[in-house]
Amino acid sequence: MFSAEEKFQITIRLQHFFIIGLENTLQLLKGYVQLQMLWVDPRLSWEPSEYGGIEMIYVTCNKLWIPDEVIVSSISTQEIYDHVQKAGDCKIYANGTVEQGRTLLVDLVCIMDIQKFPFDYQQCGLSFSSQVYPWHHYNLKGELFTKYNVSCMRVSFNVLLRRRPHFYIYVIGIPCFLLTFLSVTGCFWTANVKEEQLSKLGIALTSMMSMTTFVNIISQEMPKTSHFPLLGSYVLTCISITSMASLILVIFPEKRRIQVEKIKSIFIGIRGFSCPTGSFQSPNEDLCIYAISDVDFYSDAVQQCSRLGGNVVKIKNIFENAFLLGLIGSIFPAGQAPYIGVVKLSNGTWVYSDGTPLIYANWAPGEPSDAQGLTSAVMDPQSGRWKAADPTALRPFFCGVDGDLFQCPNNWNYFEATDSCYYLQNFTAADEANFTLYLWPDAEKLCVNAGAHLASIHSKEENDFVSGECLR
């Protein structure tokens, strides 16, 4: 056994350590390392005074004996400037001290503790030792903070790493919380009736499948160890909560609450109106159009339209004009221009057939003509433009009837604010003392048979109207 003074002294200085990356799954730390190794070789010492005061020289490293100290905690070590190291990077001082610089690319084994991932700290070691000489033949000295002076058989530099968790919080933590919160809220926001179970289970199962993606991301980032990461436990907790919500939905369904009340009346709301058979409803307007293909004089057309409850049609915008042009091609014989509700007064002014001023006009070029006797108007079957015409000519014509005349069937009341009809159904029994009782589904079925539904209240005005009808 050698004494401390007899052991060969080797000093290793870590000058620079640049971290390239940390491979979580392989538990490897890749880094760029600059080292200086110093030792004293008495065979290389000299007296500077005998050699012109020279105290230091450079020599090629491959001409010298070099310690075989290697990084024992690395599975891969690569010399970055290998040709330079061998060519002339060794300094020799007069007292026999040899200094060698090395630049390495290393893959260090870094056993990871991932229990607190992604809020974890990792400690990785950079250890040096000889693979040839017995430990009792030499002393290794590490220098990073030079006030410490410790001799040992192995030198280790510990690197403490702290992970920045922001990526995992934003990509996994917050989305996982939101999915769990929204899926549980969606499952229990309304009553858990059987009719809605399938859609609610769909919400929960979709969320669970999304969260399995988060588990997959974590498993790809983490080494396969006996410890489970904190973030993984968080995601599994979210999945468990959603699973419990799904289980509760299946095991504890609620029965739909059907109220059976002794009521005197109900209200049924239907569409605004439908034009009678044989007429056409003008798009987006409460106007029914009759296309009369039997030809007549203009005066007779006015009388026939009056019997229908309207006038020769008043065209008030370009949409009505286009709608009538489409009817001409499908109903009237080719080439016949029908009368429209536009007439000429004695003062030469053109107005609607009911005497109101024109709010829309679509005259053909050069029209209306000032020729004698042309006091009515027709629509050109090709272009839809208007032309002045002789009212004594036999032509087809259009009648326009206000849709309000057909708003509601008998015994139904029209409410303009909702553009709907309401019917007060009396449920008084034959003895006039009791009421006929209906379940909600049966009452709705009666409404559907009438082409409507049970009334739903959407505003205070509608509520006031309905309550007023009930108290009549």
Residues 154 and 176 in one domain: no
Q: Is residue 273 part of a domain?
A: no
Residues 58 and 201 in one domain: no
Residues 157 and 174 in one domain: no
pLDDT at 388 over 90: yes
pLDDT of the residue at 374: 92
Which of the listed residues 145, 162, 179 is the one where a domain comes to its end? 162
Residues 432 and 398 in one domain: no
Q: Is residue 3 part of a domain?
A: no
Range of the domain at 182: 166-251
Residues 119 and 178 in one domain: no
Q: Is residue 272 part of a domain?
A: no
The tokens for 58 are 């450079």
Which of the listed residues 365, 387, 404 is the one where a domain comes to its end? 404
Residues 173 and 186 in one domain: yes
Tell me the pLDDT tens digit for each residue of 244-255: 888 888 887 775
* Number of domains within the chain: 4
Residues 386 and 415 in one domain: no
Q: At 362, which CATH number?
A: 3.10.100.10
The proportion of the chain whose per-residue pLDDT surpasses 90, expressed as a percent, equals 13
Q: Is residue 265 part of a domain?
A: no
Residues 194 and 115 in one domain: no
Which of the listed residues 143, 162, 181 is the one where a domain comes to its end? 162
Tell me the pLDDT tens digit for each residue of 260-309: 333 344 445 444 556 777 888 887 677 888 999 889 999 999 999 988 88
Residues 239 and 142 in one domain: no
Residues 111 and 80 in one domain: yes
Residues 297 and 397 in one domain: yes
Q: Could you tell me which residue, 269 or 160, shows the higher pLDDT? A: 160
Banded pLDDT at 343 (limits 50, 70, 90) = very high
Kindly report the pTM of this predicted structure.
Answer: 0.36
Q: Is residue 312 part of a domain?
A: yes
Q: At 68, which CATH number?
A: 2.70.170.10
Residues 103 and 173 in one domain: no
Q: At 204, which CATH number?
A: 1.20.58.390
> Average pLDDT in the 132-155 region?
51
Q: Could you tell me which residue, 290 or 141, shows the higher pLDDT? A: 290
